Amino acid sequence: MKVTIWNENRHENKNPAVRSVYPEGIHGAIQQFLSKSGVDADTATLDEPEHGLSQQTLDQTDVLVWWGHIAHDEVKEEVVERVYQRVLDGMGLIVLHSGHFSKIFKKLMGTSCDLKWREADEKERLWVVDPSHPIASGIGEYIELPQEEMYGEHFDIPAPDELVFVSWFEGGEVFRSGCTYKRGKGKVFYFRPGHETYPTYHNADVQKVILNAVQWAKPAGSNKPVYGNAKPLEAIGANQN
């Protein structure tokens, strides 16, 4: 299995506070813990040619992890389309935190993906509401993050195929924080936490969830479906009574 971690990588370059939390970038932090678990993980960033997501790279990617925030608009339509086609073809996609507003997530969801938010260093608890789900494997009753950005309902997404986590926030809100979807042959997982100023991707439980999600999202399923004009499998008219 080959994972590609895509990161906008702008906050890290502009903001020393972010760089101090993620010296190798958010993509680097994720790559590190996935690699430690034996996952073959590469990175790609916005400012590389083709945003680091050439057709060849995507064709060799089983699961793509996506973090973006302030530069969603800079992602080229042709790259979005390329990623989209790969998802329909079976590539897994893990969308993190502010990636809810990325072009690719909105295109796959068919909704605005809007939400409430607040930066107030508040406590978050991600409660497991589906204890049977492999993405929650090894997690206790909840994941606690002492300080995070708040995301609150209403989150304008289609009803998830599976709801794995629901967040509680100190300031009074809740959020559907772990949501699975299928699009074509591809699996999609949205996972809420990970504001750039907090060490969320250094949290062992958050790392476990991303590792589980990557395993869950890897390509599987039936042979590639065939579309278009089809010959009948049975004689038509033979049955007319």
- Number of residues forming the site for a second copy (CB under 8 A): 82
Question: Can you tell me which of 152, 191, 202, 206 binds a second copy, judged by CB under 8 A?
Answer: 152
Cβ–Cβ contacts within 10 Å for residue 233, how many? 6
- Measured from the CB of residue 214, what is the shortest distance to a second copy in angstroms? 14
Contact range with a second copy by CB under 8 A, out of 4-12, 22-30, 39-47, 132-140: 132-140
Instruction: Decide if residue 197 touches a second copy (CB under 8 A).
Output: no
- Measured from the CB of residue 183, what is the shortest distance to a second copy in angstroms? 5
Instruction: Decide if residue 23 touches a second copy (CB under 8 A).
Output: no
Residue found by looking up tokens 């064709």 in the block: 59
CA-based nearest residue to 97, from 170, 215, 198: 198
The token pair that represents 70 in the structure block: 């302030």
Residue found by looking up tokens 């309902």 in the block: 153
- Measured from the CB of residue 233, what is the shortest distance to a second copy in angstroms? 3
Nearer Cβ to a second copy (47/144): 144
Check if the beta carbon of residue 19 is closer than 8 Å to that of residue 12.
yes
- Measured from the CB of residue 185, what is the shortest distance to a second copy in angstroms? 5
Would you give the binding string for a second copy spanning residues 72-101, x where CB under 8 A is met? ----------------x-x-----------
Instruction: Decide if residue 204 touches a second copy (CB under 8 A).
Output: no
DSSP β-bridge partners for residue 222: none
Nearer Cβ to a second copy (49/140): 140
One-character DSSP codes across 43-59: EEETTSGGGG--HHHHH
One-character DSSP codes across 68-87: -STTGGGS-HHHHHHHHHHH
CA distance 30 to 26: 6
> Which residues have CB under 8 Å from 137's CB, separation 6+?
208, 212
Nearer Cβ to a second copy (23/110): 110
Instruction: Decide if residue 124 touches a second copy (CB under 8 A).
Output: no
| Distance separating the N- and C-terminal Cα atoms of the chain | 54
Contact range with a second copy by CB under 8 A, out of 3-11, 40-48, 124-132, 192-200: 124-132
Instruction: Decide if residue 170 touches a second copy (CB under 8 A).
Output: yes
